[in-house]
């Protein structure tokens, strides 16, 4: 009898192919299909040669080759391609079959698709898969959410192929209903934007402000990787700074200084504005990429404004240690803001998110994997109701220890004219968050002055609002109250 597949994967680009090979390594029989059908045979004759992967040349054939209930994973470009594939699949499916979208779909699309398919009697799972090509092949971080009843159908496969933490826990667990998995993946990618940007800012200050060479910074990042900063991104920065082009010169200095983006950092920043949560470091990281893309304008402006154009004169070893501590403190702020947004999203979209578990999912396999996430996991495991990561004893102590270095780093950068938007926004958030009286009293007064928007008083109950006729010319009628 013909062998039946445990799962099908549609989409044979880099992620799909590597996930299939990973599933095959773990003893699962996978049916492979792709819109451009010739890629099926290319795959079978090359990367999948000698494996038990079965090729399908039509959706009909693919569905017939699967054990029931069928599990079909889409690894196609996010957006219209996902809807197109779902529509092609529907006439071939039976109630109880499950479609899994493993791409980077926007979470509201996943909410819509989950409802659409559940209403038709099918299951739908929207799953974040992180770790790029290497992760997909050897163990990604997997963040599934959607139809909870379908979780037992895929739990064994997903857990088997996922990354494992140093203590052997799987970096894969159920996140929540409808779009929760894709939301958590979006948060992961956005935090990745922040982590990358603050590393770039530290590099920029050391290079432009301190005049250090890539070789010197290679050594510095190697040392930093032995501290609390121990992470995949610090590790690859160390390696990139030590990498030489064919002529023996550092390759990094020959790379154009403009950055692109695929949108997840922007999505998260926009969503944070909708939720009213200040994820300022990540938003600055998105803007930093936008500024980098204005290369021609920057080239022009660099000829108009010289800036301080001077080098640091002082104890280089001491300021490098300050930069390390400022990087660590900024990173804590970034994760603090990210988890604040996750908490608010859980309330807004009615998800029961386990923050310790989310930190665990990111502990291995994905781009932001780090020792640091173990401490976040511990903080939430110790106190699941923790209102803010900054208030956990471990993080509170680090930020307090780093504070003076953080301020010295930014004062140095400002004096030398080196832009550090994400470090600066992190410190501004910290100073704002720990401030018991912000200047929003003046803001309330101004809004009442020009628009009769009313204000509250510190010496009256909060539900009581006041309006003042500030100029003697306005009336005593106030505007309706609203919040944004």
Binding mask 31-50 for ligand NBP (x = CB under 6 A): ---xxx--x-----------
Selected from 9, 31, 56, 75, the binder of ligand NBP by CB under 6 A is 75
User: Tokens at residue 429, please?
Assistant: 């958030």
User: Closest distance between ligand NBP and the C-beta of residue 18, in Å?
Assistant: 8
User: Closest distance between ligand NBP and the C-beta of residue 126, in Å?
Assistant: 11
Distance CA(223)–CA(220), nearest Å, equals 5
User: Closest distance between ligand NBP and the C-beta of residue 474, in Å?
Assistant: 54
Which residue's CB is nearer to ligand NBP, number 178 or number 201? 178
Selected from 16, 146, 181, 214, the binder of ligand NBP by CB under 6 A is 16
| Angle, in degrees to the nearest 10, between helices 316-349 and 280-293 | 110
User: Closest distance between ligand NBP and the C-beta of residue 43, in Å?
Assistant: 10
- Residue 201 touching ligand NBP (CB under 6 A): no
Alpha carbon 107 to chain centroid, angstroms: 13
Number of residues interacting with ligand NBP: please give it, by CB under 6 A. Answer: 24
Distance CA(448)–CA(454), nearest Å, equals 5
Which residue's CB is nearer to ligand NBP, number 127 or number 269? 127
User: Closest distance between ligand NBP and the C-beta of residue 218, in Å?
Assistant: 25
What are the two backbone dihedrals, phi and then psi, of residue 62, each rounded to the nearest 5 degrees? Answer: -60, -45
* Cβ atoms 293, 258 nearer than 8 A: yes
User: Closest distance between ligand NBP and the C-beta of residue 358, in Å?
Assistant: 17
E strands, 369-455, where?
Answer: none
Helix (H) or strand (E) holding 430: helix 421-433
- Residue 191 touching ligand NBP (CB under 6 A): no
Q: How many CA atoms lie within 13 A of 334 on its CB side?
A: 33
Selected from 47, 77, 263, 394, the binder of ligand NBP by CB under 6 A is 77
Those residues with Cβ within 8 angstroms of residue 36's Cβ, 6 or more apart along the chain or in another chain: none
**DSSP per residue, 286-344:** HHHHHHHH-HHHHHHHHTT---------S-HHHHHHHHHHHHHHHHHHHHHHHHHHHHH
User: Closest distance between ligand NBP and the C-beta of residue 251, in Å?
Assistant: 21
Of residues 340, 189, 188, the one with CA closest to residue 277: 340
Which residue's CB is nearer to ligand NBP, number 358 or number 389? 358
Residues 428-447 that bind ligand NBP (CB under 6 A): none
Residues 87-116 that bind ligand NBP (CB under 6 A): 103-104
Which residue's CB is nearer to ligand NBP, number 32 or number 358? 32
Residues 121-150 that bind ligand NBP (CB under 6 A): 129-130, 132-133
Selected from 7, 8, 9, 12, the binder of ligand NBP by CB under 6 A is 12
* Cβ atoms 421, 428 nearer than 8 A: no
Which residue's CB is nearer to ligand NBP, number 91 or number 95? 91
User: Closest distance between ligand NBP and the C-beta of residue 325, in Å?
Assistant: 32
Q: Report the relative pairing of strands 54-55 and 123-130 from DSSP bridges.
A: unpaired
- Residue 15 touching ligand NBP (CB under 6 A): yes
User: Closest distance between ligand NBP and the C-beta of residue 201, in Å?
Assistant: 24
Sign of the alpha-carbon torsion through 229, 231, 235, 240: negative
CA dihedral 73, 75, 77, 81 (to 10 degrees): -30
* Cβ atoms 154, 144 nearer than 8 A: yes
- Residue 58 touching ligand NBP (CB under 6 A): no
Which residue's CB is nearer to ligand NBP, number 71 or number 207? 71
Distance CA(354)–CA(460), nearest Å, equals 38
Selected from 85, 173, 178, 195, the binder of ligand NBP by CB under 6 A is 85
- Residue 78 touching ligand NBP (CB under 6 A): yes
Instruction: Report, as residue numbers or ranges, the catalytic residues.
Output: 185, 192
Which residue's CB is nearer to ligand NBP, number 34 or number 334? 34
Which SS3 state, helix, strand or coil, does residue 376 take? Answer: helix
- Residue 240 touching ligand NBP (CB under 6 A): no
Distance CA(402)–CA(221), nearest Å, equals 18
Distance CA(346)–CA(316), nearest Å, equals 45
Selected from 7, 48, 53, 76, the binder of ligand NBP by CB under 6 A is 76
Candidates 62-70, 71-79, 119-127, 212-220; binding stretch for ligand NBP (CB under 6 A): 71-79
Residue least distant from ligand NBP (Cβ): 103
Which residue's CB is nearer to ligand NBP, number 103 or number 176? 103
- Residue 11 touching ligand NBP (CB under 6 A): yes
Those residues with Cβ within 8 angstroms of residue 452's Cβ, 6 or more apart along the chain or in another chain: 467, 474, 475, 477, 478, 479
Which residue's CB is nearer to ligand NBP, number 126 or number 421? 126
Name the site residues for ligand NBP (rule: CB under 6 A): 11-16, 34-36, 39, 75-78, 80-81, 84-85, 103-104, 129-130, 132-133
């Amino acid at each position: 009898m013909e062998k039946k597949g445990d799962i099908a994967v549609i989409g044979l680009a880099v992620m799909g192919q590597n996930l299939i090979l990973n599933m095959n390594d773990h003893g699962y029989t996978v049916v492979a299909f792709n819109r451009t059908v010739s890629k099926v045979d290319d795959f079978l004759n090359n990367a999948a040669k000698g494996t038990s992967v079965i090729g399908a040349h039509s959706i009909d054939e693919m569905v017939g080759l699967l054990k029931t209930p069928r599990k079909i994973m889409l690894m196609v470009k996010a957006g219209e391609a996902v809807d197109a594939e779902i529509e092609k699949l529907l006439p071939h499916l039976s109630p109880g079959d499950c479609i899994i979208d493993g791409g980077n779909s926007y979470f509201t699309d996943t909410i819509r698709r989950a409802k659409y398919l559940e209403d038709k009697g099918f299951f739908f799972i929207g799953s974040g898969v992180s770790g790029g090509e290497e992760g997909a092949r050897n163990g990604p971080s997997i963040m599934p959410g959607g139809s909870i009843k379908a979780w037992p159908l895929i739990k064994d496969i997903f857990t088997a192929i996922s990354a494992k933490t140093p203590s052997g826990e799987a970096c894969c667990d159920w996140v929540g209903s409808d779009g929760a998995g894709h939301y958590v993946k979006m948060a992961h990618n956005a935090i990745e934007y922040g982590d990358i940007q603050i590393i770039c800012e530290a590099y920029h200050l050391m290079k432009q402000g301190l005049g250090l060479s890539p070789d010197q910074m290679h050594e510095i990042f190697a040392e930093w990787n032995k501290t609390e900063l121990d992470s995949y991104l610090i590790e690859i920065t160390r390696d990139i700074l030590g990498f030489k082009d064919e002529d023996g010169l550092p390759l990094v200095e020959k790379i154009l200084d403009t950055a692109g983006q695929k949108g997840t950092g922007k999505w998260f920043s926009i969503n944070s504005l909708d939720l009213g949560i200040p994820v300022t470091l990540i938003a600055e990281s998105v803007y930093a990429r936008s500024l980098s893309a204005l290369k021609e304008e920057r080239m022009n402006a660099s000829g108009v404004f010289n800036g301080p154009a001077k080098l640091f004169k002082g104890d280089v070893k001491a300021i490098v240690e300050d930069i390390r501590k400022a990087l660590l403190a900024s990173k804590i702020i970034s994760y603090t803001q990210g988890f604040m947004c996750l908490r608010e999203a859980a309330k807004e979209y009615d998800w029961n998110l386990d923050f310790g578990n989310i930190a665990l999912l990111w502990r291995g396999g994905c781009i932001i994997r780090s020792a640091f996430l173990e401490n976040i996991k511990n903080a939430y495991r110790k106190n699941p109701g923790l209102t803010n990561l900054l208030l956990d004893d471990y993080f509170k102590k680090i930020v307090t220890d780093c504070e003076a270095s953080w301020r010295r780093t930014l004062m140095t950068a400002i004096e030398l004219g080196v832009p550090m938007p994400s470090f600066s926004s992190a410190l501004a958030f910290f100073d704002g968050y720990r401030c018991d009286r912000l200047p929003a009293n003046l803001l309330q007064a101004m809004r009442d002055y020009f628009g009769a928007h009313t204000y509250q008083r510190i010496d009256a109950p909060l539900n009581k609002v006041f309006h003042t006729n500030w100029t003697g010319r306005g009336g005593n009628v106030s505007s309706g109250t609203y919040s944004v």
